[in-house]
Amino acid sequence: MEASLETTVRKGKRWRKILGWAAVSLVALIIALVIGLYAYIVRTHPVVEGEIRLPALQNPVEVVRDQDGIPHIRAENEDDLYIAQGYVQAQDRLFQMDLSRRQASGRLSEVVGGAALNNDKYFLTLGLRRAAEASYGGYSEEAKKVLEKFAEGVNLYIEELKANGKWPLEFKLLGYTPEKWTAVDSLTIGKYMAFDLGGHWENQAFRYYLLQNFSKEKALDLFPTYPTNAPYIIGKNELDIESSFATAVIPHEFNGSNNWVVSGERTESGKPILADDPHLSLSTPSIWYQMHLEAPTVNVSGVIFAGIPGIILGHNEDVAWGVTNTGPDVQDLYIEKRNPDNKYEFLYNDKWEKADVIKYEIKIKDEKPEDYEVVVTRHGPVISEFAAESGKENVLSLQWTALQPSTELEAVMNMNKATNWDEFEQALEGFHTPTQNFVFAAKDGTIAYKANGKIPIRKKGDGLLPVPGWTDEYGWVDYIPFDELPTVVNPKEGFISTANNKVISDKYPYHISHDWAQPFRQMRIQEVLSKDDKITVEDMMALQMDKMNLQAREFVPLFTEQLKDSKDTRVREALSILKDWDFVDDAKRAAPLIFNLWTREIQDVLFEEEIPEETLGLFGGRRQAVDELIRRAASGTPGPWIDEHGGLKKVLEESLLRVLSDLEEEYGKKMEKWKWGDYHQVYFPHPLSSVSPLNVLFNNSGRMPVGGSQVTVQAAAFKDDGTVNHGGSWRFVIDTDDLTKGYHLVGPGQSGHVLNDWYHNQMKSWVDGDYHETTIQNYKGKKLKLTP
């Protein structure tokens, strides 16, 4: 018995020893794997110091990356400058560049598989790449040369990677290498940005859906304006809007921006100050890439989309400029009547007209290719069929300015060299799409504004609803003349600002849009600018980070009045917190959490039972519409959406109680302990961060609490789970008293390479408003010499 026990003990000790060694070995293996992965990733980081030979160059080029990772490229001629720009962009952002051209070209499935198939079909249908190919011939020989030299630089880096095998990690994970870069790739990415800021076809479709499915009174209750002569409405059995766009790719609802410029009469320096912060999706890497380009003929600094030459927003030694999205109606849906005997023919002026048919073979990773065809009528591609057969005899086609040939990148090159407003405005004449609100400042003291781009003049109709395509009664007859686009130069107020608000008076002779952003950001900007003199750069940075919520300032008193007699103790406690609020969307306060979720929940109460979620996604002006429903109801004239839900008081109480119940479950019952930042947190997702555990690798900085909201100047729109995924993708302020330096923020950082020093180094700065200074003179940093 004793021997048996002793044997058992010995065996136990031996197993413990074996398990101990196994555990140590496993830990060692994990450490080795981590070290190996780290070593591989660091090995793939670009060379930013020393010397690299690029045989295509005529003369040596100097690239200095400053402490913030901003490349300053100095060349002796423009050919070398743009070769170097292409090479340097590819060093930092090659995977992003390749993914962008694939997304816009409808070729994502080749590298990510069938999950991207609908996305590819949609972009093949739109035809952004077809439009880019058609645009190339319209460029001057000089601009074509810039595009070709840029592509040459990108390809030099691709060839370098082929030789040394140091591919960015994403290419290894997805198991492919990129094709050669072309000039058309750059133009296609430009067209994609026009898509991201494009227009309002989805709003037209949604209004049509309302008229198909609800009473006229109920449908019109959600219209921005009431149509005087509504076009012919086809029934659901003939054209089902609800199913037609079930998986359409819709740009973010809050794609917009802030910009303003202040006259020297109002600034401390006595020279104009300009500020710009475009609001786009937040991602890793940033949608923007900051650069400084210098040659004898140009010295320009600012940001560009990765994959495109030049600088699209920023400044040179004489002028500075920035943009916001005008948001005009530059897209029209046409109801097309199809020949029942030939699906490729459509009626036009009593005759069957043959459409163009473009056939594609979509390659899908690890699957068989799929054949796909796109049908293009005289108005544009048929977009209601990419997801489903929505109508046997009626379909919807899309006419859109961005699908026409255009030369935006040539305009950018001319803007980069402008020395005054006349030259800058002349450059804008070539910038057709997307239509943007340009603000401008020059060292000569000029401030100016122009809503610039091609905006159609319609023969009949105003872009409110889809129109008949079988007749020439509707259609585009021209564009608003360039000299008649909204323009302001040196106004007496001493400042100009835009925030996607309505930019014209009712007396303006042309139609621009039905859909404008909620006015609260513009109201706050003007409130601050109109009361301040001796304005400084620091003041403008503070305004870009301003969290004052004017929607709350308007609606909290109204909500409180409506619910003042509520018997529910939770409602009374929430109203007490809101009553003591200063209306600043501070991350550490409870009131912003209650109010911002409350205004969202009101929409759900009104629409969730009657409008499918996918269709509601087409309703781009939803927040403005709900604001108006509330205002009308509070004034004693509720429309059917409020009326049928029991009146304004019931809608407000039900939505508030829902929010409070959800928040209690998540954060406990002590409302005063709740914090906006516990829910509202910024996250810069990488394209591969949806794949676990890659999310830990590519997004190791995680989430950070942040203030602001979708209606504050510090824009921070958020998803249903509180993730802030949209806001000031680039923040920029410059005093034209010294145009050698500007102040920037590009969250989360410059580099597209994980573990790089400049990968997420601006994430906390983005949250805190900690700008970096970038100079175009006497800059210092890591030097790379590119030699012929």
219-231 pLDDT tens trace: 999 988 755 555 5
Task: For the chain, give the percent of residues with pLDDT over 90.
Answer: 80
Please state the rounded mean pLDDT for residues 435-463: 95
Cα dist from 139 to 63, 143, 431, whole Å: 28, 6, 12
Q: Go through the chain and tell me how many residues it has.
A: 788
**What digits encode the pLDDT tens for the residues 699-714?**
888 899 999 999 999 9
* pLDDT surpasses 60 at 1: no
Comparison of pLDDT for 742 and 201, the residue scoring more: 742
From 577, 597, 585, 552, select the one nearest 670 (Cα to Cα).
577
Q: In what order do the strands lie in the sheet with 288-295?
A: 50-53, 782-787, 61-65, 71-74, 288-295, 298-305, 313-316, 319-325, 436-442, 447-452, 487-489
**What digits encode the pLDDT tens for the residues 290-324?**
999 999 999 999 999 999 999 999 999 999 999 99
Query: According to the model, what pLDDT value does residue 89 have?
Result: 98
Query: According to the model, what pLDDT value does residue 700 have?
Result: 81
Cβ–Cβ under 8 Å, residues 595 and 548: no
- In three-state secondary structure terms, 745 is strand
For 197, residues 6+ apart whose C-beta sits below 8 A from its C-beta are 251, 255, 325, 327, 434, 436
Cβ–Cβ under 8 Å, residues 606 and 692: no
* pLDDT surpasses 70 at 12: no
Query: According to the model, what pLDDT value does residue 294 have?
Result: 98
Cβ–Cβ under 8 Å, residues 647 and 639: no
Cβ–Cβ under 8 Å, residues 638 and 650: no
DSSP lists the bridge partners of residue 369 as none
- Per-residue confidence at 506, pLDDT binned at 50, 70, 90? confident
Query: According to the model, what pLDDT value does residue 21 have?
Result: 63
- Per-residue confidence at 618, pLDDT binned at 50, 70, 90? confident
- In three-state secondary structure terms, 339 is strand
Cβ–Cβ under 8 Å, residues 441 and 259: no
Query: According to the model, what pLDDT value does residue 192 have?
Result: 93
Separation CA 728–CA 747 (nearest Å)? 8
* pLDDT surpasses 90 at 635: yes
Query: According to the model, what pLDDT value does residue 387 have?
Result: 46
Place of tokens 């001493």: 494
Please state the rounded mean pLDDT for residues 348-357: 97
DSSP lists the bridge partners of residue 394 as 337
Place of tokens 């109920």: 218
**What digits encode the pLDDT tens for the residues 556-566?**
999 999 999 99
Query: According to the model, what pLDDT value does residue 388 have?
Result: 46
- Concatenating the DSSP letter of every residue in 576-625 gives HHHHT--SB--TT-SHHHHHHHHHHHHHHHHHTTTS-HHHHTT-TTHHHH
Residue 649: in which H helix or E strand, if any?
helix 648-667
Within 137-182, where are the H helices? 141-164, 169-174
Start-to-end CA span in the chain (Å): 86
Q: What angle do CA 385, 387, 391 make, to 5 degrees?
A: 35
- Per-residue confidence at 600, pLDDT binned at 50, 70, 90? very high
Please state the rounded mean pLDDT for residues 195-200: 75
Instruction: Take residue 510 and report the two structure tokens written for it.
Output: 């042309």
Residue 381: in which H helix or E strand, if any?
none
- Per-residue confidence at 621, pLDDT binned at 50, 70, 90? confident
Please state the rounded mean pLDDT for residues 579-599: 98
Q: What are phi and psi of 553, to 5 degrees?
A: -60, -35
- Give the rounded distance of the alpha carbon of 389 from its chain centre: 30
Q: What are phi and psi of 273, to 5 degrees?
A: -120, 135
Task: For the chain, give the percent of residues with pLDDT over 70.
Answer: 90
User: Quick one: CA torsion of 686, 689, 694, 699, rounded to 10 degrees?
Assistant: 60
Instruction: Take residue 159 and report the two structure tokens written for it.
Output: 């060839």
- In three-state secondary structure terms, 723 is strand
Separation CA 534–CA 81 (nearest Å)? 39
SS3 content of the chain, % helix, strand, coil (to 5): 40, 20, 40
Asked which of 182-191, 335-344, 580-589 is least confident by mean pLDDT, the reply is 335-344
**What digits encode the pLDDT tens for the residues 75-92?**
999 999 999 999 999 999
DSSP lists the bridge partners of residue 314 as 302, 321
Cβ–Cβ under 8 Å, residues 466 and 230: no
Instruction: Take residue 491 and report the two structure tokens written for it.
Output: 């106004």
From 277, 325, 316, select the one nearest 424 (Cα to Cα).
316
- Give the rounded distance of the alpha carbon of 345 from its chain centre: 37
* pLDDT surpasses 90 at 255: no
Burial 236-253 (b: 16+ CB within 10 A, else e): eeebbbbbbbeebeebeb
**What digits encode the pLDDT tens for the residues 365-407?**
999 999 999 999 999 999 987 644 545 678 999 999 999 999 9
Instruction: Take residue 232 and report the two structure tokens written for it.
Output: 């012919």
Separation CA 602–CA 642 (nearest Å)? 10
Cβ–Cβ under 8 Å, residues 126 and 383: yes
- When computed from its CA atoms, the radius of gyration of the chain, rounded to whole angstroms, is 28
Separation CA 622–CA 610 (nearest Å)? 15
Domain ranges of the chain: 1-43, 550-583+590-674
Cβ–Cβ under 8 Å, residues 328 and 434: no
Residue 430: in which H helix or E strand, if any?
none
- In three-state secondary structure terms, 149 is helix
Cβ–Cβ under 8 Å, residues 243 and 190: no
- Concatenating the DSSP letter of every residue in 463-509 gives SSS-EESSSTTSSEEEE--GGGS-EEES-TTSEEEESS---S-TT-S
**What digits encode the pLDDT tens for the residues 96-154?**
999 999 999 999 999 999 999 999 999 999 999 999 999 999 999 999 999 999 999 99
Separation CA 300–CA 734 (nearest Å)? 13
Annotate 37-102 with three-state secondary structure.
HHHHHHHCCCCCCEEEECCCCCCCEEEEECCCCCEEEECCCHHHHHHHHHHHHHHHHHHHHHHHHH
- Single pTM value for the model: 0.93
Cβ–Cβ under 8 Å, residues 57 and 45: no
**What digits encode the pLDDT tens for the residues 711-734?**
999 999 999 999 999 999 999 999
Query: According to the model, what pLDDT value does residue 442 have?
Result: 98
Separation CA 67–CA 344 (nearest Å)? 58
Average pLDDT for the chain: 91
- In three-state secondary structure terms, 159 is helix
Query: According to the model, what pLDDT value does residue 208 have?
Result: 85
* pLDDT surpasses 80 at 240: no
* Residue 8 identity: T
Strand 772-775 and strand 298-305: the pairing is unpaired
Separation CA 583–CA 548 (nearest Å)? 6
Please state the rounded mean pLDDT for residues 645-657: 98
Place of tokens 């989805």: 202
Separation CA 746–CA 287 (nearest Å)? 9
Residue 387: in which H helix or E strand, if any?
none
Please state the rounded mean pLDDT for residues 605-625: 91
* pLDDT surpasses 70 at 486: yes
Task: Compute how many other C-beta atoms are within 10 angstroms of the C-beta atom of residue 491.
Answer: 12
Query: According to the model, what pLDDT value does residue 16 have?
Result: 64
